Structure 1
Amino acid sequence: MEEAKGEVKHVLLAKFKDGLSEDEIEKLIKGYANLVNLIEPMKAFKWGKDVSIENLHQGFTHIFESTFESTEGIAEYIAHPAHVEFANIFLSKMEKVLVIDFKPTTVHL
Structure 2
Amino acid sequence: MKKLLLLTFILISSYTVNAQQNKQKQLLRHVVMFGWKPGTDAAAIDKVVTAFGNLEHKIKLIKAYEWGINNSPENLNSGLTHCFVLTFRSESDRDAYLIHPAHKAFVAVLSPAPDKVTVVDYWVKK
Deviation at 1:91, TM superposition (A): 5.1
- Provide structure 2 residue ranges, at least 5 long, that are not aligned to the other structure: 1-22
Residue 59 (str. 1) matches residue 79 (str. 2): yes
Partner amino acid for 1:61? T
2:121 match:
101
- Provide structure 1 residue ranges, at least 5 long, that are not aligned to the other structure: none
CA contact (8 A) 2:61 2:97 kept: yes
Cα distance in 2 between the residues matched to 1:76 and 1:70: 10
Deviation at 1:22, TM superposition (A): 1.6
Let me know the Cα RMSD of the aligned residues.
1.6
Deviation at 1:103, TM superposition (A): 0.7
Alignment size in residue pairs = 103
- Normalising by structure 1, report the TM-score: 0.86
Partner amino acid for 1:47? W
1:78 match:
98
The structure that has the greater radius of gyration is 2
Cα distance in 1 between the residues matched to 2:52 and 2:44: 12
Higher relative contact order (CA 8 A, sep 6+): 1
Structure 1 outlier segments of 4+, above 6 Å: none
Higher helix proportion (structure 1 or 2):
2
Deviation at 1:20, TM superposition (A): 2.4
Deviation at 1:24, TM superposition (A): 2.0
